[in-house]
Amino acid sequence: MPTYVDPNACNACQGVHEGPLCVYICPNDLMVLDSDLDKGFNQEPELCSECYACVKLCPQEAIHVRGYADFVPMGAVVQPHRTQTTEGDGLRWEVRFRDGREFEFTYPSRTRPAGTVVPYENFTEDRVGDLGSQGLAGEALWLGVTELPTVK
């Protein structure tokens, strides 16, 4: 289910960010801005890895996730909306099935308020020296171990 930008909702992130956030966040460089229309769009939907990063980040909630017309011909759509829960910031997911049924669920998505995350906080690794290692950034930290086992 690749992403689709509702052109009526997209405002090119004007007033929110110095550039389109979906373009900034897409790890596959799929999201681009149509400079004539000033609208974001997915330039290669078939390559979308469905990470939902752009969907969740879009301040206009303009990005939907929906199936290809050949196997979801009735237009199923999934879209998250940012919301507040009793446990903090969260996401309310709206799911519209191809037969018209609608379903939604909400759950907390963060342990910190938006905008307060410090990149690389508590990382103790040598970011340059570790480029030749087998570990991923922060892997030992997040696994709660002091050292990762490696293949000799």
Cα 58 to chain centroid distance, Å, stands at 9
Stretch that binds ligand SF4, among 20-28, 72-80, 98-106, 109-117 (CB under 6 A): 20-28
In terms of Cβ atoms closer than 10 Å to its own Cβ (0-12, 13-18, 19+), residue 101 is exposed
Residue count, binding to ligand SF4 (CB under 6 A)? 28
Out of 4, 30, 64, 90, the residue judged to bind ligand SF4 by CB under 6 A: 30
Residues sharing a CB contact under 8 Å with residue 43, sequence separation 6 or more, in sequence order: 30, 31, 32
Interface with ligand SF4, residue 50, by CB under 6 A: yes
Interface with ligand SF4, residue 79, by CB under 6 A: no
Interface with ligand SF4, residue 53, by CB under 6 A: yes
* Residue number, 58 or 76, with CB nearest to ligand SF4: 58
- Report the distance separating Cα 35 and Cα 37, nearest Å: 6
How many CB atoms sit inside 10 A of residue 141's CB?
14
Interface with ligand SF4, residue 78, by CB under 6 A: no
DSSP 136: P
Out of 4, 12, 79, 80, the residue judged to bind ligand SF4 by CB under 6 A: 12
Stretch that binds ligand SF4, among 5-13, 78-86, 124-132, 140-148 (CB under 6 A): 5-13
How many CB atoms sit inside 10 A of residue 49's CB?
11
Out of 1, 25, 32, 140, the residue judged to bind ligand SF4 by CB under 6 A: 25
